[in-house]
A and B are shown apart, each in its own frame.
Chain A
Amino acid sequence: MNPGESNAVITGIGQSQVGRRLMRSGLDLTAEAALAAIGHAGLSVEDIDGLSSWPGKLADNPGMSPVSVSEVKEALELRLNWFNAGMETAGQLGGVFNAIMAVATGQARHVLCYRTLIESSIQGMARRGASHGSLDTRLGDHLQYLIPYGPSASNWTGVFAQRYCHDHGLTREQLGQVAVTLRANARKNPVAVYQEPLTLEDYLAARMISTPLCLYDCDVPIDGATAIIVSARDACGGLANPPLTVEAFSGAHRERDSWYQRPDLTTMAAHDAGAALWQRTRLTPADVDIAQVYDGFSIYVPMWLNALQLVAAKDTGAFLAEGGHSLAGRLPINTGGGQLSAGRLHGFGHLHEACVQLWGLGGERQVNTHLEVAAVGVGGGPLGGCMLLSRHN
């Protein structure tokens, strides 16, 4: 474990009701998740002295991020020593990484980290289809070069997928095993949004969205909140759960900050973070028991497995075809169904599920009770951050 981040541990997790068009406010969902996590950790609200989120409240995109840290502070009357929220960091887990550094440097003892989305309710009200903007808006910054030509993230990601399949020989049948396996996992997760069976035949017959990505390669927007308690190691005595050690994290980003300028289009920011991760720990990829990796689109799963050096690019198609990623496989991934079938909790769901498995709380989907190390990788394109969690102390 790294002497810096291993001063941080995860002591509790919580999740709100998760579903489609719940028509509950973001703050209501956030409070539900936060109080669940605080209770799960064996803490009281008064113990929380840090607060962190990603990406911060987005006034012009309320489905994506409806709740500010200020609103949570006020709602729970938190007395804070440290707080943080912002988008310009290493992907969705950036808010957690900042919390890890806050407890490791003594700025806070117990940081409540949260991520809340109400995309399903907002989309249901507005019926908007494009990822960003509308025909009466004009674009600046990086998006001006993307959206005029393709207004959906499925386009920006489709070009990665096409190039990956071209260079590494990944077939639709092999990629389809991601969606099929994650649906099987979701069927063992009572709070997953999609519970109907999904076969490879269903997958191959589904309508195409942006080649080679079909409907089942795209995740599902939901309403829901996730909360994670990051604590200082020396503050976790006597709490409810054995603390989970943050062995290492990385948000390294070394190539162009762009959806189309990275030299190798079969890689993402994830690959920089993944490479740097292993320089911060004595653990090796062979020590990883399970992986929870970002699946906003299915293609990110093979890319993250490569980025974290868990499966080589040339072996990825065979690994998926053989079910290496299934609950009974060599390296179970997205054991709760991931974003493809359990819903877009936007990275925090992956971290939550890693903790569920390490604490043996997975019920019917629990891989086994001897898990020691989980890898978590979150983000797509120019966003990427990853961490290693363990039961080692």
Chain B
Amino acid sequence: MEQPRILPLVTEDNAYFWTSGQHGELHILRCRSCGHYIHEYSPLCPRCRGREIAPEAVSGRAVVASFTINHQPWLPGMQVPYVYAIVELAEQEGLRLTTNIVNCDPGEVAIGDPVTVAFQHYDDVWLPVFERVGP
């Protein structure tokens, strides 16, 4: 059964992030001038203030920066426990997403775990979630 979720409103600005999963890729904004990855959406690069920015596919590899195992069903039909996590993408120090760690025993998740992206499709949204890599 699908986890009930309150979804993002997909717009011209954020569609790169919420829909790139339909092709199995995670897209993150990147500055073409200085190479800096940017998350969340911005019309300019916060490092060099450049305006030539565009989404780019990333590896989907990440490390768990922190996590929490939620036990409270906040929404009707919500399946618990689930793991809410902050992961740091391999491409850049400090480039982080919030996500869920899925398809594992929540009790096995630890800070520092390598994880890789997967997607859950709801309506017009492909939510990036992450799975543990290896044993």
Contact = CB atoms under 8 A, between A and B. Distances in A.
Interface string A125-149: 0000111111101111010111111
Contacts of A53: none
Given A158-B84, A159-B66, A209-B72, A148 B94 contact: no
A131 B74 CA distance: 8
B133 interface: no
A142 to B, nearest CB: 7
B70 A155 contact: yes
Interface residues of A, number: 44
Interface string B119-132: 00000010101000
B127 to A, nearest CB: 6
Contacts of A159: 65-68, 84-86
Interface in A127-185: 129-135, 137-140, 142, 144-152, 154-156, 158-163, 166
B9 A210 contact: no
Contacts, number: 122
B6 A261 contact: no
Contact of B70 (A154, A260, A263): A154
A208 B107 CA distance: 13
Nearest to B112: A166
A210 B68 contact: yes
B98 to A, nearest CB: 5
Contacts of A150: 68, 70, 82, 84, 98, 100
Interface of B: 4-9, 11, 14, 39-40, 65-76, 82, 84-86, 94, 96-100, 111, 125, 127, 129
Interface of A: 129-135, 137-140, 142, 144-152, 154-156, 158-163, 166, 207-213, 258-261, 263, 265
22 contacts: A129-B73, A138-B8, A139-B6, A140-B8, A140-B9, A144-B8, A144-B14, A145-B98, A146-B98, A148-B6, A148-B127, A150-B82, A150-B100, A158-B68, A159-B65, A159-B86, A163-B65, A208-B69, A210-B69, A210-B70, A211-B69, A211-B71
